[in-house]
């Protein structure tokens, strides 16, 4: 019987299909027999390499650090809030171990800038500010003092410790407190972007009429930190010194607000300080253009910023203390034996730096 063209086509197709199947099976059989007999090789780390040096990376030598283990189940007797509702820590004495923190920040090799303005009569405060900062501020860490002054020739002669540097920058003075605060925020925001960000990791802004009385170290450092004002500590919202003029850029309603922060001591990462001071400067200028004067030039705008940009760490009133406030009922409720560690203290006005020197020596 003669095959038709159609039957010939199907026969060739079947042969081709069987050939491809056989070839595939042969390939998998070869792979199973040949590769199955090979044993995997494991690359073991040689003891001579360890972690001492890998290419350009070198090991960081860390000294042994001893400290008490943190105990999570011991109840605290003090009636102090240690954390905000947005989970930012509130730093009180005894809530941190500075040895651990120092070790961590040393590993990061951080540098801290301390910004202070000393213009006009306030130059008289500068010497003791720097002397006490050398004793108590960021001990053992790299520090740059950025001193803005309109009287460079009146700068006190003071040689900073190793790892510290003083940078003198010219500034303008003004008899008007509002212009002084506007200028200060403008300068800090400008230099944060143009210079500070290239030279330091953190920035601390302080008033020149402060005196460091105890250690103020890396426990304060965070993305953005503020300091609780002792005068308004524990008071309800309606009694806080927020700006109440609705037309002001610093306006905070009576049913808003968390805490009242001091304008004399704040800081954080340089970029965050730039954002804060830029907002304050622009808001101040806007109010000034609209002929609006707030009650607290140095704090109203700062508190408005912190209302919407929550600090990532808050310093207790110990960091801005006035011993005269100890008789306040609100403090008596939270202080053990009415005692609180004074870390930073704001001095009342005096006419000459000699008075500071005398008071400072008597307080030691």
Among candidates 348, 292, 303, which has minimal Cα distance to 323? 348
Residue 333 annotated as catalytic:
no
Q: What CA–CA distances, in Å, run from 206 to 218, 272, 334?
A: 15, 16, 27
Which residues, 6 or more positions from 6, have their beta carbon under 8 angstroms from its beta carbon?
A: none
CA 119 – CA 319 distance, rounded (Å)? 24
CA 326 – CA 332 distance, rounded (Å)? 7
Max Cα-Cα span within the chain: 130
Residue whose structure tokens are 């008490």? 68
Query: Do 258 and 307 touch, CB atoms closer than 8 A?
Result: yes
Among candidates 310, 264, 318, 287, which has minimal Cα distance to 96? 318
DSSP for residue 47 = T
Which residues, 6 or more positions from 110, have their beta carbon under 8 angstroms from its beta carbon?
A: 141, 142, 201, 202, 218, 221
Query: 3-state SS of 189-254?
Result: HHHHHHHHHHHCCEEEEECCCEEECCCECHHHCCCEEEEECHHHCCCCHHHCCCECCCCCCCECCC
Task: Tell me the residue length of the chain.
Answer: 364
Find the DSSP H helices in the chain. 5-36, 98-108, 126-136, 177-191, 197-199, 270-289, 300-308, 329-334, 353-362
> Which of 299, 318, 333, 339 is flagged as catalytic?
299
Known catalytic residues? 299
């Amino acid at each position: 019987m003669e095959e038709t063209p159609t039957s010939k086509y199907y026969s060739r197709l079947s042969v081709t299909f069987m050939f491809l199947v056989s070839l595939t099976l042969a390939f998998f059989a070869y792979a199973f027999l040949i590769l199955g007999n090979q044993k995997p090789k494991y690359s073991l780390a040689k003891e001579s390499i360890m972690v001492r040096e890998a290419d350009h990376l070198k090991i960081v030598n860390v000294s042994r650090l001893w400290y008490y283990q943190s105990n999570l189940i011991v109840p605290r007797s003090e009636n102090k809030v240690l954390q905000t509702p947005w989970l930012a820590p509130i730093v009180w004495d005894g809530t941190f171990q500075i040895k651990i923190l120092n070790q961590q920040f040393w590993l990061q090799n951080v540098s801290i800038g301390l910004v202070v303005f000393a213009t006009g009569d306030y130059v008289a405060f500068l010497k003791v500010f720097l002397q006490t900062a050398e004793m108590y501020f960021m001990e053992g860490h790299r520090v740059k003092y950025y001193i803005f002054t309109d009287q460079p020739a009146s700068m006190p002669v003071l040689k900073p410790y190793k790892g510290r540097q003083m940078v003198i920058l010219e500034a303008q003075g003004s008899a008007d407190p509002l212009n002084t605060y506007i200028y200060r925020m403008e300068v800090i925001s400008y230099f944060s972007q143009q210079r500070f960000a290239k030279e330091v990791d953190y920035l601390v802004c302080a008033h020149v009429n402060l005196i460091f009385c105890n250690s103020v170290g890396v426990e304060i450092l965070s993305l953005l930190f503020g300091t609780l004002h002792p005068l308004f500590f524990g008071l309800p919202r309606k009694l806080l010194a927020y700006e109440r003029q609705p037309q002001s850029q610093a306006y905070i309603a009576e049913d808003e607000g968390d805490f009242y922060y001091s304008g004399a001591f704040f800081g954080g990462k340089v970029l965050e300080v730039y954002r804060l001071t830029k907002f304050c400067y622009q808001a101040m200028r806007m109010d000034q253009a609209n002929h609006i004067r707030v009650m607290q030039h140095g704090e109203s705008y700062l508190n408005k910023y912190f209302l919407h940009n929550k600090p990532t760490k808050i310093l207790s009133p110990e960091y801005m203390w006035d011993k005269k406030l100890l008789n306040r009922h609100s403090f008596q409720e939270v202080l053990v034996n009415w005692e609180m560690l004074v870390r930073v203290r704001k001095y009342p006005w005096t006419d000459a730096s000699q008075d500071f020197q005398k008071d400072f020596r008597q307080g030691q």
